[in-house]
Amino acid sequence: MYAGSLESEHDTVWLMLQDDILLGAAVLMQVLDEAHLQNFFINAKQQGRGLGGQLLRHVLLQARQQGAGSVFLEVRASNRVALQLYQRAGFIQYSTRKAYYRHPDGSREDAILMKADL
Ligand SMILES: CC(C)(COP(=O)(O)OP(=O)(O)OC[C@H]1O[C@@H](n2cnc3c(N)ncnc32)[C@H](O)[C@@H]1OP(=O)(O)O)[C@@H](O)C(=O)NCCC(=O)NCCS
């Protein structure tokens, strides 16, 4: 997916690095004034230090500078930390996709669809 994003004219990939350590990454797909946050993570060993908030603010600022008017994303309903992070950054829930994610045991989980106007 990252290889595909690096080759796509619509995608921007951010890597948050400290020396040679990968702290986190974000992938944003943007077409005209609409952007989609495709992937977003902080290295498991570095979580809970405010880096997620820092990277997200940077991505949203850059998206606005690249002409985005709104950013969309989807997140698992059980992902409380990510939901809180996105809400603090100004995202609101606009819909739910029922049973969108499938767990290895066959159970399903809803996707929360969120949007932020920049
Ligand atoms: C979601 C994720 C990116 C957050 O990154 P992070 O660097 O840990 O987040 P931050 O330290 O900036 O904290 C963000 C908020 O969540 C809270 N938080 C962080 N870790 C937490 C934890 N383990 N339990 C409860 N709250 C937590 C913080 O207190 C902060 O809230 P605040 O703004 O009120 O202080 C990171 O946990 C992650 O990569 N998770 C796995 C991948 C993932 O879920 N990506 C999102 C997919 S849509």
pLDDT tens digits for range 38-87: 999 999 999 999 999 999 999 999 999 999 999 999 999 999 999 999 99
**2 band by pLDDT with thresholds 50, 70 and 90:** confident
Question: Atom 1, ligand 1: which residue's CA is nearest?
Answer: 82
* pLDDT value at residue 33: 95
What residue numbers bound the domain in which 86 lies?
A: 2-117
pLDDT band at 3 (very low <50, low <70, confident <90, very high): confident
Residue 24: strand, helix, or coil: strand
Give the nearest ligand 1 atom to 51 CA.
Answer: 7
Residues with a catalytic annotation lie at: 74, 86
| Alpha-carbon gap, residue 32 to 66, rounded angstroms | 9
Domain of 83: which CATH number? 3.40.630.30
Counted domains in the chain:
1
**Using an 8 Å Cβ cutoff, are 3 and 10 in contact?**
no
pTM: 0.92
The CB-side HSE value for 91 (13 A sphere, CA atoms) comes to: 25
- Per the CB < 8 A criterion, the answer to whether 60 and 28 are in contact is no
Q: Token digits for 108?
A: 């399903």
Average pLDDT over residues 13-35: 95
